[in-house]
Amino acid sequence: MTTSGTAGDGSGRADARTGARVLDATRHPGRRLALTFDDGPNPPDTTRLLAVLRAHGVRAVFFLCGDPALAHPEVVRAIAAGGHVLGNHSMHHDDMSGWPPERIRADLLRTNAAIRAAVPGVPIPYFRAPYGSWGRSPEVARDLGMWSLGWRLAIGDWEPPGTDELVRRLTDGAAPGSVILMHDGGGDRGQTVSAVERFVPRFQALGWSFDDPELGG
* Contacts to Zn ion by CB under 5 A: 3, 38-39, 130
Per-position b or e across 38-53, b if 16+ CB within 10 A of its CB: bbbbbbebbbbbbebb
Looking at the Cβ atoms of 2 and 26, the one nearer to Zn ion is 2
Looking at the Cβ atoms of 38 and 214, the one nearer to Zn ion is 38
Q: In whole angstroms, how close is the CB of 4 to Zn ion at the nearest point?
A: 9
Looking at the Cβ atoms of 3 and 163, the one nearer to Zn ion is 3
- Answer yes or no: 56 catalytic: no
- Answer yes or no: 172 catalytic: no
Rounded CA separation 150/35 (Å): 12
Per DSSP, 177 falls in state T
Of 72, 89, 93, 183, which residue is the catalytic one?
Answer: 183
Of 38, 39, 107, 157, which residue is the catalytic one?
Answer: 38
Q: How many CB atoms lie within 10 A of CB 164?
A: 12
Q: In whole angstroms, how close is the CB of 30 to Zn ion at the nearest point?
A: 28
Of 92, 89, 180, which is closest to residue 141 (Cα–Cα)?
89
Per DSSP, 8 falls in state T
DSSP per-residue codes, 107-163: HHHHHHHHHHHHSTT----EE--GGG--TTHHHHHHHTT-EEE--SEE--TTS---H
Looking at the Cβ atoms of 149 and 203, the one nearer to Zn ion is 149
Q: In whole angstroms, how close is the CB of 42 to Zn ion at the nearest point?
A: 11
- Residues designated catalytic: 38, 183
